[in-house]
Amino acid sequence: MADFSRVKDLLERQRPGGEVAVRGWLRSARHSKDVSFLDLSDGSCLAGIQVVVPRDLVDHAAELRKLGTGSAVEVRGELVASPARGQSLEIQAGAVELVGDVAEDYPLQKKRHSFEFLRTISHLRPRTNTIGAVLRVRNCAARAIHRFFQDRGFVYLQTPIITESDCEGAGELFRVSTLDPSKPPRDAQGEVDFSQDFFGKQAYLTVSGQLEAEIAALALTNVYTFGPTFRAENSNTSRHLAEFWMIEPEMAFCDLAGQMDLTEEFLKEIFQTMLDECTEDLEFFNKRIDKTVLATLEHIVESPFERIDYTEAVAVLEKCGRDFEYPVRWGLHLQSEHERYLTEVHIGRPLIVTDYPRAIKPFYMYVNDDGKTVRAMDVLVPKIGEIVGGSQREHRLEELDIRLEECGLAPRDYWWYRDLRRHGSVPHSGFGLGFERLVQFATGMENIRDVIPFPRVPGFAEF
C-alpha cells in the first residue's frame, strides 16, 4: 500500500519528477502505433491521470495490448510534464501490470449515458464522473455536518432503526416481522396475532429518530442523529426515496426562534464548507449538470433566509394569480408547486415557513396561544421545495394529551414520551434535514435517485 500514491496527490504535485506507482481502473485506453495512452482513475478526484505506455512495454505482454476501459492496472513509472492540453503531469510508464482479468463487454463507454441506464448498473456507476463526484460530495457534506455539531458540543446519538411508533403519524411504515406471511397466527377474532411475532408487538422501520433524540436531549442538552430512515410512501417523484438519511439535531432549553437561527447557521456553514472543500466536484456539476449551482450556493451563504408564517404564505399564494394544480386554502398542505413558487418566485432565495395549522402537523408540535397553529417550521429552497422540517416540541403534558387524542393515538403507546413531560420537562426544539435533498440541491442533480449510492424506491431495491 505504502508505495502507491493516490491520483489526487500526484496531480496536486506542482512539479514533475520522481518514480511513482499508482493503481486504479482505466476509463479509456488508446493504442497507437508507437505508444498507448491510458486514462487511469482511482476515484480520489474527478480527473484521472494519463499514463503513457511505450510500445516495447506493450509488446512485452500480449494482454497489455488488449487493455481497455474498465480493466484494473498497477502502473510504475516517472512523473513527467505532460504536453497534452488540460493536464500538467502524466506518467511515463516503466511497468504496467494488469490486475484481475481484462474487462470484457464493459458497459460504460466514454460517451454520456442516461442516468436511467446508469441506475440499472449501480454496481459500476460509481466509476462514472458524475456518480463518483456525487459520492465525494456526500462524504464532504457528512464530514461538514459532523464537524458543525461537534464544534458546538452536540453529542452524536445513535437512535434505533426498529421501532414501535410512527413518529410522523403519516402511516408510511415498513413492517418488520418474522411471521410466516402465508399462515400467520391468528387471535380469537381472526386478526393476525402479533403477540407471537418477534418483538411481541407490531414493529416497523423508523421514519425518524426524533422521539428518541428528545429523550437524550432532556439529559445531554444538545444531541444530533445522522442515520437511515424509511418511508413507504408510494410517491414516484424525483424528490422521494423509500430509504434516505436524515440529520436530526435536538436542543433542550430552545424555542422555535432559537432553532431557526441554528438551522440557518447550519445550512450556511455546510454549503460554505462544500464550496471550500469539494470545489472541483461542484465546478463539475456547475459545468455539466446545472449552470446555476455555484452562484446559488454562494448567494445562499451570503443572504439571510426570509421568514414568513403559513397564514401569510397562503395569502401570498391566493393573491399571486397562478393556476396551481392543487388548491390553496388555509388549512391545507402546501404542495411542492406552492413551496417552489414561494421560494423561487416570491422570495428568490431560501425561505422558512412557520406556524402551520395544527390539523396538518404531527402530535408532538407545540400548540401556539392562538390554539389553531403549531410551532412548526419548514425550510424551502429553490428547485427542491422542502429541505428541512422542524418544530418546537409540546413539552406540556396536558396539551400533549389533547394532541394525542386529536391524532387518534393511544396515550399508553406513548407512556414514556408522556412520562418525560413529568420529570424536568423543558421547552425543546429540533429539526430534520434530508441528507439526499441537501446533496441534490448542492449538485443540481435532477433526480434524488442519483445522489444516493443505491436508491430504494417503489418497485426497486436491487444491489
Task: Decide: is 430 part of the binding site for Mg ion (CB under 5 A).
Answer: no
* Rounded Cα–Cα distance for residues 18 and 60 (Å): 24
CA angle 252, 365, 229 (to 5 degrees): 80
Binding of residue 210 to ligand 4AD (CB under 6 A):
yes
Residue type, 142: A
- Compute the least distance from the CB of residue 171 to Mg ion, in Å: 15
Strands 89-99 and 49-54: parallel
Q: Which of these ranges, 59-67, 317-325, 385-393, 419-427, lies near ligand 4AD under the rule CB under 6 A?
A: 385-393
d(CA 347, CA 362): 27
Residue with cell 430504494: 456
- Nearest distance from residue 47's CB to ligand 4AD, in Å? 31
3-state secondary structure at position 341: helix
Q: Indicate the SS3 state at residue 420.
A: helix
Where does this chain touch ligand 4AD (CB under 6 A) — which range of 27-35, 195-203, 240-248, 329-337? 240-248
* Residue 302, all three cell numbers: 451570503
The verdict on 362 binding Mg ion (CB under 5 A) reads: no
| Per CB under 6 A, 386 contacts ligand 4AD | yes
- Which member of 389, 430, 434, 455 binds Mg ion (CB under 5 A)? 389
**Cβ of residue 334: shortest distance to Mg ion, in angstroms?**
10
Mask: binding to Mg ion, 23-62, rule CB under 5 A, as x and -?
----------------------------------------
Half-sphere exposure of 357 (CA within 13 A, CB side): 12
φ, ψ for residue 245 (rounded to 5)?
Answer: -105, 140
- The answer to the question of residue 266 lying near ligand 4AD (CB under 6 A) is no
- Given candidates 437, 439, 441, 442, which one binds ligand 4AD under the rule CB under 6 A? 437
Q: Which range in 49-57, 150-158, 315-323, 431-439 contacts ligand 4AD by CB under 6 A?
A: 431-439
Q: Which is nearer to ligand 4AD, 74 or 269 (by Cβ)?
A: 269
Asked if residue 184 lies in contact with residue 178, where contact means CB atoms within 8 angstroms, the answer is no
For the segment 166-185, give every residue that binds ligand 4AD (CB under 6 A).
167-168
Edge to edge, the sheet with strand 351-357 lists: 155-156, 222-230, 243-252, 428-434, 385-392, 373-381, 351-357, 306-309
Helix, coil or strand: residue 286 = helix
Catalogue the long-range contacts made by 450-455 (C-beta closer than 8 Å, 24 or more residues apart).
450/115, 450/118, 450/119, 450/130, 450/131, 450/134, 451/134, 451/138, 452/241, 452/244, 452/245, 453/122, 453/126, 453/135, 454/122, 455/119, 455/122, 455/241
CA 418 from centre of chain? 32
Count of chain residues binding ligand 4AD (CB under 6 A): 23
Closest approach of Cβ 302 to ligand 4AD, in Å? 23
Which residue, judged by CB position, is nearest to Mg ion in the bound state?
A: 389
Smaller CB distance to ligand 4AD: residue 71 or 208? 208
Q: Could you tell me which of 106, 132, 118 has the C-alpha nearest to residue 26? A: 106
| The binder of ligand 4AD chosen from 24, 70, 427, 430 (CB under 6 A) | 430
382 binds, among Mg ion, ligand 4AD, none (CB under 5 to 8 A by kind): none
Q: Report which DSSP code applies to 378.
A: E
> What is d(CA 250, CA 230) in angstroms, rounded to the nearest whole number?
20
Q: What is the DSSP letter of 170?
A: S
Options 124-132, 157-165, 354-362, 386-394: segment touching Mg ion (CB under 5 A): 386-394
Shortest Cβ distance from residue 229 to ligand 4AD (Å)? 7
Query: CB under 5 to 8 A by kind: which of ligand 4AD, Mg ion, none does 264 bind?
Result: none
- Does 395 bind ligand 4AD (CB under 6 A)? Our answer is no
- Please say which residue, 389 or 427, places its beta carbon nearer to Mg ion: 389
Smallest separation, CB 339 to Mg ion (Å): 10
354 makes contact, choosing from Mg ion, ligand 4AD, none, with CB < 5 to 8 Å by partner type, with none
Query: Contact between 208 and ligand 4AD (CB under 6 A)?
Result: yes
What residue spans of 289-331 are helical by DSSP H?
A: 293-302, 310-319
Contact residues toward Mg ion (CB under 5 A) are: 389
Where along the sequence are the contacts to ligand 4AD (CB under 6 A)?
167-168, 208, 210, 231, 233, 240-241, 244, 246, 248, 386-391, 430-432, 434, 436-437
